[in-house]
């Protein structure tokens, strides 16, 4: 046990020495200016290296003790429940929620004619409020054609390519984010559906990824989001990591972002090898997270710190 703790401390110090502003490590410091994004919590962001070290070591040490304990279904709580009153108020008031601007943009893209000879989304699907109601609640869905899960973003892109003759959009493209926000918003207040039984093997793959230690910190998602969820670290409560509000408006990003962007942030924070947007790994993680959050209420567009 002691040897393991010392090894953990050495690893944490090695990581910290690379975290100073200015240190450039490619993907690992993705758009963070050398700061650890995703982990640790806001309270220790940019805080002293000592507090950061204490946080990492605390997580590592307790992670050594307990393996893969998951939050019981009845104890699940949205990240919303852990937010400050101000951030909650911002999410609750549609006129103050910046995510609603993206939903409005999405409505404009939905009705816009992409070209004279191509139909708009509305041209085929009519009013999104009617045709897209409850759709996002069952994504990632089982795609018969590929016999694998397809994300909502992937499904929208398929219509763009096959029905409109347009190109694929990147996950973080504002048009795709807006269309995804518009569609997911039509499921606000609805429970995340029980998954299609054919998704079972992909949920299992996602679960293994979720429970697998990876990266220089040798942590798994489960260590932070199940074993340490709800604990206060540097003044911030660690969320359980549920995908209920996506796409979200994240204050730290000052922008909308997809669930996969959030997952990639956590993977960078773990100093793990990152998977590209749309990769089988990230889709499997999404599929597992949706299963883990089945029955929880969709909040799109959520606001997160
Ligand atoms: C070292 C701890 C840590 C690890 C490991 C970690 N995360 Fe996170 N994660 C966080 C923190 C902290 C936040 C919240 C950040 C914030 O609000 O500023 C977060 C946020 C999230 C959210 C957003 C929840 C919401 O309410 O919107 C999801 C989903 C998530 N993580 C999934 C994952 C997955 C999947 C993995 C494994 C690939 C993972 N995380 C690994 C610390 C971690
Ligand atoms: C030319 C007609 C056409 C256009 C244009 C079109 N779609 Fe579709 N879309 C379809 C058809 C057909 C389906 C498959 C319906 C089914 O599976 O029952 C579909 C399916 C979907 C689904 C999956 C629905 C579900 O229940 O799982 C989504 C989401 C979607 N389209 C979004 C869009 C968006 C966003 C646009 C505009 C960017 C768009 N579509 C443009 C014809 C179209």
Residue with tokens 């016999």: 147
Q: For residue 219, report the distance from its CA to the centre of ligand 1, in Å.
A: 12
Pocket of ligand 1 (CB under 6 A): 38-39, 41-42, 59, 79, 210, 219, 221, 223-225, 238-239, 241-243, 245, 248, 262-263, 266-267, 269-270, 285, 289, 304-305
Which two tokens mark 12? 């944490």
Residue nearest to atom 2 of ligand 2 (CA): 124
Q: For residue 241, report the distance from its CA to the centre of ligand 1, in Å.
A: 5
Out of 225, 281, 282, mutate this one to test ligand 1's pocket (max ligand atoms within 8 Å of CB): namely 225
Q: For residue 134, report the distance from its CA to the centre of ligand 2, in Å.
A: 14
- CA-based R_g, the chain, Å: 20
Residue with tokens 């929880």: 296
Q: What are phi and psi of 118, to 5 degrees?
A: -125, 145
Contact 210, 220 (CB under 8 A): yes
Nearest by Cα to 303 from 152, 78, 118, 150: 78
Ligand 2 site, residue 155, Cβ cutoff 6 A? yes
85 to each of 31, 39, 81, 292, how far by Cα in Å?
A: 28, 22, 10, 26
pLDDT for 265 equals: 95
- Which residues participate in catalysis according to the annotation? 266
pLDDT for 232 equals: 78
Q: For residue 159, report the distance from its CA to the centre of ligand 2, in Å.
A: 5
Q: For residue 133, report the distance from its CA to the centre of ligand 2, in Å.
A: 13
Cβ atoms within 10 A of the Cβ of 291, count? 19
pLDDT for 287 equals: 98
Burial label for 133, CB within 10 Å (0-12, 13-18, 19+), is middle
Residue with tokens 């002293």: 48
pLDDT for 60 equals: 58
Residue with tokens 């509305």: 122
Q: Which own/partner contact pairs does 222-226 have at CB distance under 8 Å and 24+ positions apart? A: 222/68, 222/69, 222/70, 223/59, 223/62, 223/63, 224/39, 224/59, 224/266, 225/71, 226/68, 226/69, 226/70, 226/71
Domains with residue ranges and CATH for the chain: 2-69 (no CATH), 74-92+192-304 (1.10.760.10), 99-185 (1.10.760.10)
Residue nearest to atom 9 of ligand 2 (CA): 159
Walk along the chain (305 residues) and give the pLDDT tens digit of each residue. Answer: 334 444 444 454 344 333 323 233 333 333 332 233 334 444 334 444 455 555 565 665 555 544 557 888 889 999 999 999 999 999 999 999 999 999 999 999 999 998 888 999 999 999 999 999 999 999 999 999 999 999 999 999 999 999 999 999 999 999 999 999 999 999 999 999 999 999 999 999 999 999 999 999 999 999 999 999 998 766 778 999 999 999 999 999 999 999 999 999 999 999 999 999 999 999 999 999 999 999 999 999 999 99
Burial label for 276, CB within 10 Å (0-12, 13-18, 19+), is exposed
13 to each of 5, 10, 42, 53, 189, how far by Cα in Å?
A: 12, 5, 20, 7, 44
Ligand 2 site, residue 133, Cβ cutoff 6 A? no
Ligand 2 site, residue 51, Cβ cutoff 6 A? no
Closest ligand by atom to 143 CA = 2
Which two tokens mark 59? 């997580």
Q: How far apart are CA 214 and CA 273, in angstroms?
A: 8
Ligand 2 site, residue 255, Cβ cutoff 6 A? no
């Amino acid at each position: 046990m002691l040897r393991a703790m010392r090894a953990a401390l050495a690893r944490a110090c090695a990581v910290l020495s690379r975290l100073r502003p200015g240190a450039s490590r490619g993907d690992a410091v993705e758009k963070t200016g050398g700061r650890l994004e995703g982990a640790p919590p806001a309270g220790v962001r940019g805080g002293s290296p000592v507090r950061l070290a204490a946080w990492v070591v605390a997580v590592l040490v307790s992670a050594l003790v307990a393996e893969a304990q998951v939050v019981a279904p009845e104890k699940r709580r949205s990240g919303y429940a852990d937010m400050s009153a101000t951030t909650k108020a911002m999410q609750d008031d549609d006129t103050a929620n910046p995510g609603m601007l993206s939903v409005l943009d999405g409505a404009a893209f939905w009705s816009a004619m992409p070209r004279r000879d191509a139909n708009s989304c509305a041209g085929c699907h009519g009013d999104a409020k009617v045709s897209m109601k409850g759709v996002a609640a069952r994504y990632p869905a089982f795609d018969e054609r590929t016999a694998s899960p397809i994300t909502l973003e992937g499904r929208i892109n398929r219509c763009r390519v096959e029905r409109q003759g347009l190109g694929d959009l990147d996950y973080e493209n504002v048009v795709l984010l807006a269309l995804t926000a518009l569609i997911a918003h039509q499921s606000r207040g609805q429970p995340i559906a029980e998954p299609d039984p054919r998704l079972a093997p992909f949920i299992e793959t996602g679960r293994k990824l979720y429970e697998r230690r990876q990266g220089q910190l040798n942590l798994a998602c489960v260590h932070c989001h199940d074993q340490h969820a709800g604990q206060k670290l540097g003044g911030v409560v660690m969320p359980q990591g549920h995908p209920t509000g996506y796409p979200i408006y994240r204050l730290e990003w000052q922008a909308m972002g997809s669930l996969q962007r959030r997952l990639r942030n956590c993977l960078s924070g773990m100093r793990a090898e990152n998977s590209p947007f749309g990769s089988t790994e990230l889709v499997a993680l999404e599929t597992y997270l949706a299963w883990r959050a089945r029955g929880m209420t969709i909040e799109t567009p959520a606001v997160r710190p």
